[in-house]
Amino acid sequence: MEFFRIKKDIPFMRNALVLNAISFITFIAAVFFLFHKGLNLSIEFTGGTVIEVQYEQTAELENIRNSLAGLGYGEVNVQNFGSSRDVMIRLPLIKNPDGSIMSSADQSSSVMGKLKEAQSQVKLQRVEYVGPQVGEELLYGGIKALLFVVVGIVIYLSIRFEWKFALAGIIANLHDVVIILGFFAFFQWEFSLSVLAAVLAVLGYSVNESVVIFDRIRENFRRFRKLNTPDIIDSAITSTISRTIITHGSTQMMVLAMLLFGGATLHYFAVALTIGILFGIYSSVFVAAAIAMWLGVQREDLIKQDSKANKDQAKTEDPNFGAQV
């Protein structure tokens, strides 16, 4: 069986402007929502308490809200979680009268007390408390990790190809990251640590697709000396697109299984991966190559490097030398 048997090169680069306009608009929209609505950061980043409880029958959220309002905890967020019987209660950090932060155990026990008052068969499922200091650390840890990935990938691609490809590759894939964040801002989905992990994992994963295309571009520069740059890129994308879609598709199957069967805990993790994988195909194929073209990649950039490598005798040592994919 074979899904894609394309005989003629598809003129992607002729439409590069349109394709990039689309992704530019999506990008701007994502940035807009990020600033306008902001991310709905989980308590892992903001500090606070999450309490999950389970009722035997359908939980009446309004009653729960009313009984918790009496505690004077300020903005208490009560919502269903997974099923109608499961309720998630989010509390902000609360200060005691003496200025110290109220401990999680006190908080959760007073909440449970209130809930039991109203309905005795409520069951405590999960408590999560993150102090303000830890939240801040996790946030900075996340930002550092993102920077580390970006710098690491740029360095790797610069060594592997050259800076124009590195720049194009990272712009294309950071654009995916911003779009994932945009989705989370727009729908106000909860952005937790596991979503961050998904974002970084998918960033490392989809850069690889750009690498595949860049590899093929380099190979084509060697093989077709008469073609101009856009034609070479077109041919490279056309010949790799089948594989791009099948690899991403099979990864997506696994992610889909997590989305469908993984339950509430894995839900947003899988959602972030899904968006990342779908936009990863798009951006690697259309955006990265086009940016590289506009940055002015030419035959000399890649071929010259090779001749230098020949002189250095690095040829035999480099496992990727002359790699053709």
Chain positions 156 to 195 lying near another protein, rule: CB under 8 A, are 156, 160, 193-194
Stretch that binds another protein, among 24-32, 147-155, 278-286, 300-308 (CB under 8 A): 147-155
The counts of H helices and E strands in the chain are: 11, 6
User: By C-beta, is 203 or 233 nearer to another protein?
Assistant: 203
User: By C-beta, is 17 or 147 nearer to another protein?
Assistant: 147
Question: Which residues pair with residue 80 across a beta bridge?
Answer: 87
State in angstroms the smallest separation of the CB of 207 from another protein: 4
State in angstroms the smallest separation of the CB of 248 from another protein: 8
What residues from 209 to 228 belong to the interface with another protein (CB under 8 A)?
Answer: 211-212, 215
Residue 139 interacting with another protein (CB under 8 A): no
Do residues 171 and 23 lie in contact, with contact meaning Cβ atoms separated by under 8 Å? no
User: By C-beta, is 243 or 308 nearer to another protein?
Assistant: 243
Residue 93 interacting with another protein (CB under 8 A): no
Q: Which of 92, 118, 115 is nearest to 104 (CA)?
A: 92
Residue 116 interacting with another protein (CB under 8 A): no
Q: In this chain, which of 23, 104, 220, 284 binds another protein, going by CB under 8 A?
A: 104
Residue 80 interacting with another protein (CB under 8 A): no
Compute the distance between CA of residue 249 and CA of residue 105 in angstroms, rounded to an integer: 45
Stretch that binds another protein, among 10-18, 30-38, 120-128, 284-292 (CB under 8 A): 120-128
Residue 71 interacting with another protein (CB under 8 A): no
User: By C-beta, is 194 or 283 nearer to another protein?
Assistant: 194
Size of site (CB under 8 A) for another protein: 73
Compute the distance between CA of residue 73 and CA of residue 91 in angstroms, rounded to an integer: 7
What residues from 250 to 289 belong to the interface with another protein (CB under 8 A)?
Answer: 250-258, 260-263, 265-266, 269, 273
Q: Is 151 exposed, middle or buried (0-12, 13-18, 19+ CB in 10 A)?
A: exposed
* Dihedral sign computed on CA atoms, order 95, 99, 101, 105: negative
Stretch that binds another protein, among 22-30, 60-68, 70-78, 135-143 (CB under 8 A): 135-143
Question: Which residues pair with residue 53 across a beta bridge?
Answer: 87, 124
**Structure tokens given for 249:** 């598709």
State in angstroms the smallest separation of the CB of 20 from another protein: 23
Q: Which residues make Cβ contacts (< 8 Å) with residue 253, sequence separation at least 6?
A: none
User: By C-beta, is 19 or 122 nearer to another protein?
Assistant: 122
Q: What is the DSSP string of 121-171?
A: T-EEEEEEEE-HHHHHHHHHHHHHHHHHHHHHHHHHHHHHS-HHHHHHHHH
Do residues 275 and 199 lie in contact, with contact meaning Cβ atoms separated by under 8 Å? no
Stretch that binds another protein, among 182-190, 225-233, 242-250, 299-307 (CB under 8 A): 242-250
